[in-house]
Amino acid sequence: MLNNSFHWAASLVSAVLLSMAMAGVSHAEPSASVQDDPGHFARGAQAWANNCASCHNLRPAKDLRDDQWRVVVAHMRVRADLTGQEARDVLKFLQESN
């Protein structure tokens, strides 16, 4: 029984490690190159339209302040399984259209 759960916990840890190895661990903080990326806003608009209305009504940029969007987009990144890139793009789009 206990072996069983350890077995599964071990598989989970390996899944984490594998996934980290596949993507390379990086804390993806917005770097200068990301901020200057001209496609950022357009990709963000697209990602927002594709991802943000699949569970609930679309929430427009002016619903929240820029700093609040930082937290909410992180929350939705977990909820909606967004990639880090999608989350950064959506955040850029929401903050710039605010």
Residues contributing to the site for other proteins (CB under 8 A)? 1-2, 4-5, 8-9, 11-12, 15-16, 19-20, 22-30, 49-50, 53-60, 63, 66-68, 70-72, 74-75, 77-79, 81-86
User: Helices 66-79 and 84-96 meet at what angle, rounded to 10?
Assistant: 150
Q: Is 55 in the site for ligand HEC (CB under 6 A)?
A: yes
Residue with tokens 């903080």: 29
Phi, psi of 52 (to 5 degrees): -95, 5
Output the CA–CA distances (angstroms, integers) from residue 24 to 18, 78, 81, 95, in the order listed: 10, 19, 18, 28
Q: Which of 40, 43, 44, 76 binds ligand HEC (CB under 6 A)?
A: 76
90 binds, among ligand HEC, other proteins, none (CB under 5 to 8 A by kind): ligand HEC
Q: Can you give the binding site for ligand HEC, defined by CB under 6 A?
A: 51-52, 54-56, 59, 63, 72, 75-76, 79-80, 82, 90
